[in-house]
Structure formats: C-alpha cells, structure tokens
Amino acid sequence: MNLYKKIYRSRAAVFILLASVSFVIFADDAQYAVDRAAMVAEIEEYARLNGDQAFAKRVMQSMASVQRHEFVPDAQKRFAYANRPLPIGFGQTISQPYIVALMTDLIEPDSDDVVLEIGTGSGYQAAILSGLVKSVYSIEIIKPLATQAAARLQLLGFDNVTTRLSDGYYGWAEHGPFDAIVVTAAASHVPPYLVRQLRRGGRMVIPVGGRFLTQQLLLIEKTETGEVKTRQVIPVIFVPLTGEH
C-alpha cells in the first residue's frame, strides 16, 4: 500500500471515530435536555399539587437551563433529573429539584441582588442563582466539596459565583449586607450572624430542626424598619449544618 493510501485510510478512520463520538455526545446531550424538560414539568406539577402558586418564570427558566448532571457524581448521572436528592459524597446531598426551585422562588431574586449561600455542596444551587442575580457568595465547610465546586463552577462559566471554605454559621460579613440568604443545611436555630447580615427588605430561607426531628423550611423577612418576621413554609429533610457553634 502506498503512503497516500495509508494516510487517506488513517484520516478516514479518525473521521469515523470523531463522528461516532460526536454522535454519542450529541445523543447524550439531547437525552439530558429531554430529561431536564421533564424535570421542570414535574416541578411545576408538584408545586400545583402542594398548593403553591406557580414559581416565577425566571426561576423556572434557570431550572430549565442549568445542567444538573454536571453537578452530580458519575454514578448518579442517570438519576440527575429525578425529582429527588442525590448523594454527592462526604455524607452530603444535592437537594431535590423542587426544593431548589421553591427556595429560589421564596427569596424573590432580582438581577441586582447580592446573595449569600450557606452550603455550596456540588454548586448546583449557586448555579441556579447565578443567572438570576448580580453575584453569589457561597460558603462550604467540607474542603473537598469546596474545592470541587469552585473548579466546577469556574469551568462551567458561572463567573459571578465566589466560593469560600469556611463555617457558614458566621456568614461572610465583608460582602454583606445581603439582599437574600439561602441556607442549604438544617440548623438547630436561626444563626444570629446571618440575620444581622441580611439587608433591610431582604429575605432568607433556612431549614431549622435536628437531624432526627421534624425540620421546617423557614422564610425570614427583614422589614425596612429592621423588624424580623418568620414564616414556616413546609416540612423538609436536610443534612445538618456542621461546624463549631
């Protein structure tokens, strides 16, 4: 076989390989898009059955656009768009999509808002917030998760999310006060540091209760006069907020 035929066949083989890989990737992405659309429809139906008003259109658009499969371990990718929490390692979970949508909707995000998140986890909630607000500051206490989430968010282009390895109980005062605070782990009580870092007119959502006790998702609003109002939303199950406090 002459040299030109060898080169031609070699290039043809590479082209076929690349085409087959591209087809697999495209098919994979297409299936995830279908699964994501089904997840959004299920969230909307779940909200209706639970008596919620429809979530804000902007919130649901963010839920429809963020690729949840990028925020779960490889072994969990086939379940990425199921409406349930999934393990992400180190005893932590990525929250149920309906709960993510609910908590995001409750803070009524605005494009000019600066938001604090306690419990970065895999980075999914921060990614959902990213397209809805001006900037997100997210704190994670578990070092491997903090490192992974920071790299993942940067790689996926969520440039307005800043992460930090720290104890979220104490907040992030230098970037406060915050227009909204989202806490993704259950505290035994509402941390006073977070209340102080909430801007007047701001909103905080936080699950409160013990690991083996009934937890309640609370909506905390600070009025323009500084009064703090609290409302129970729904019973929930979250991993506990950890740290030395």
Q: Which residues are catalytic?
A: 95
Q: Does residue 177 have a cis peptide bond before it, meaning omega lies within 30 degrees of 0?
A: yes
Q: Select from 207, 133, 127 the least CA-distant residue to 163.
A: 127
- The residue assigned the tokens 């995000």 is 109
User: CA nearest 29: which of 75, 67, 84?
Assistant: 67
